[in-house]
Amino acid sequence: MCCEKRISVVVCTYNGARYLREQLDSILAQDYQPVEIIVQDDGSSDDTFHILEEYARIYQLIKVFRNEGKHGINNNFFSAMQRASGDYIALADQDDIWEHDKLYLQAEAIGDKLLCSGFSVPFSDDGFPVGHDDRMPNYDILRLAYLGVLPGHTLLIHRSLPDYVPNKNNCPYLYDWQLQMVAAAAESIVFVPHVLVHFRRHGDAATACLPVGHCMISSSAINYIQTTLLHHAALQRCVRTRFSYILQMLDELPFKTKAVEECREMARLQLQSGLKGFVKRTVFFLQHQTQLFHVTEKKSLLTACRALYFPFSCGYYYRAILKQHK
């Protein structure tokens, strides 16, 4: 029963005064109340911390912390998770709005899984571009290896999940992708088919520089293909960096699952060079094309072509992430 689950909410903030009150109010208004709301600020220079102190004086379940120096997104979230006392941790950004039944639905659904996600719907107050895919996501580990499809602001995780993540503080990829990969390796993800979060897209968001809805460089597919082909060598280096890290991650995980075996094989193939490596990757991608895309898609000539191009095309996305990390 969900009433037996003790949930801590973890919110990380940085210069989020403009939208913070709405997010905190939506968490406080949950039908299923958390045992605590941990908010860790990463050295904001606006009124963020004053707002947090104000809320902490009114609501005893809100616990506020402030980092000495700027830790960055990953270190801020992972260190904040360590402060949680609940058996489960719900992760929240500073600028979104939760549905009132978010925690209730996830507490009911998670069972013995390590991670639970659900739908989130984007919106913008200032005309920032938004994109939304309302299909059920495919969270197979082969797809997650390329793209983190479960938004961090929707995640409810078992408190043990972060402990499995290797080298978490030095990884260039976002904390939510790391958590998803580990949970997928354990074959321990459940998805709630309901809208849980309304997430705000705006120019000041930490992920604003990353592509929207996986439209990575242009709304024109032809222009995008031309761009990725033009920068083939540079993007391949980004792909190799990504899959070198994935191999290292998989080798350090304790899970011996089919998902780990398949992802390890794909990562090794992705790192092979030359014609022989290309042919092997081609065969693998064609055999596993439904795992790379949405599970509702049927095999066809079009999906086969996408399966061949998709892994390479993600290089542009990885380059954006690596630039942000520097």
- Over the stretch 52-99, which tens digit does the pLDDT of each residue have? 999 999 999 999 999 988 889 999 999 999 999 999 999 999 999 999
In this structure, is the dihedral angle defined by the CA atoms of residues 282, 286, 292 and 293, taken in order, positive or negative? positive
The residues that bridge with 12 in the sheet, in sequence order, are 40
Confirm if 293 and 303 have CB atoms less than 8 A apart.
yes
Mean pLDDT of the chain: 85
The two three-digit tokens of residue 61, written as one number:
């379940």
pLDDT at position 305 is 75
Tokens for 204, please give them.
């000041």
Mean pLDDT of 267-282: 87
Per residue in 107-152, pLDDT tens? 999 999 999 999 999 988 766 556 666 788 889 999 999 888 899 9
For residue 142, the one-letter residue type is L
Q: 56-74: string of b/e by CB count within 10 Å (b at 16+)?
A: eeeeeebbbeebeeebbbb
Place of tokens 């290797």: 166
**Dist CA 171 CA 211 (whole Å):** 20
Q: Where are the alpha helices (DSSP H) in the chain?
A: 20-28, 48-58, 73-81, 102-109, 141-146, 161-164, 175-185, 221-230, 232-252, 258-271, 274-287, 289-292, 301-313, 315-325
Per-residue pLDDT tens for 296-325?
Answer: 566 777 777 777 776 666 665 666 655 555
> What are the structural domain ranges in the chain?
2-200, 221-325
In terms of CATH, what superfamily is 2-200? Spore Coat Polysaccharide Biosynthesis Protein SpsA; Chain A (3.90.550.10)
Instruction: Give the Cα separation of 274 and 282 in Å (integer).
Output: 12
Q: In which band, very low, low, confident or very high, does the pLDDT at 213 lie, cut at 50, 70 and 90?
A: very low
Nearest to 102 by CA among 153, 40, 37: 153
